[in-house]
Amino acid sequence: MYEVNAFADKILGLTAQPHDLTMAQICLRACIVYIALLVFVRLGKKRFLGSATAFDTVLVILIGSMAARAITGNAAFFGTLAAIYVLIALHWLISLISRDWPAFSNLVKGRPTVLIRKGRVDRSALSQAHMSDDDLDEDLRLGGVDNTGNVKEARLERSGKVSVVGK
């Protein structure tokens, strides 16, 4: 066992200070972190990288920050990988609870906001969303609609995107 630990320390620089890591050690750490993150993401729910709610974005930021620290040697290598796995598992658990408990889901992921109903813009909702008329017009155009009178409903979704249902 000692030989395995000594070998891992030599090739990964596990006991070295960050400024003492060689380029080869940093590159090998990067490869291991990359492979570990691929495995972890595959174990997590498929949507967390694509759905982009605040709930998902926070996890992505944390993973990136922690992975960088593992690569550069500013945090314990295997401990950091374990912590990343725990965060993904926690995210998965919160997603599972959110799936079956709408009130919890709304708390964690937020709620959609109706911006337009039957062609009429809800100015209060637009203001609360910190959206200008220009922002709304842009989102409508991206949704294939040229004016609010042609909108049955438009919602600011939990992901921050505006969904548009034409008349």
Q: Which two tokens mark 7?
A: 């070998």
Give the range of the structural domain holding residue 158, as residue numbers without chain letter.
111-166
Q: How many Å apart are CA 28 and CA 34, to the nearest integer?
A: 10
CB atoms near residue 24 (< 10 Å): 11
The domain spanning residue 151 has which CATH number? 3.30.240.20
Q: Which two tokens mark 59?
A: 């996890």
Domain termination residue (choose one: 63, 78, 107): 107
Q: Whole-structure pTM over 0.75, yes or no?
A: no
Q: Are residue 12 and residue 63 in the same domain, yes or no?
A: yes
**Buried/exposed 72-96: b ≥16 CB within 10 Å, e otherwise:** ebebebeebbebbbebbeebeebbe
* Strand segments (E) across 28-166: 113-117, 120-121, 151-156, 162-166
At 13, is the secondary structure helix, strand, or coil?
coil
Per-residue pLDDT of the chain (167 residues; tens, 9 = 90+): 778 788 888 889 998 899 999 999 999 999 999 999 888 877 766 555 555 677 788 888 899 999 999 999 999 999 999 999 999 999 889 888 998 999 999 888 888 999 999 999 999 999 999 999 999 999 899 888 888 888 999 999 888 889 999 87
Q: Are residue 130 and residue 161 in the same domain, yes or no?
A: yes
Q: Are residue 115 and residue 53 in the same domain, yes or no?
A: no
The answer to whether 136 and 126 are in contact (CB under 8 A) is yes
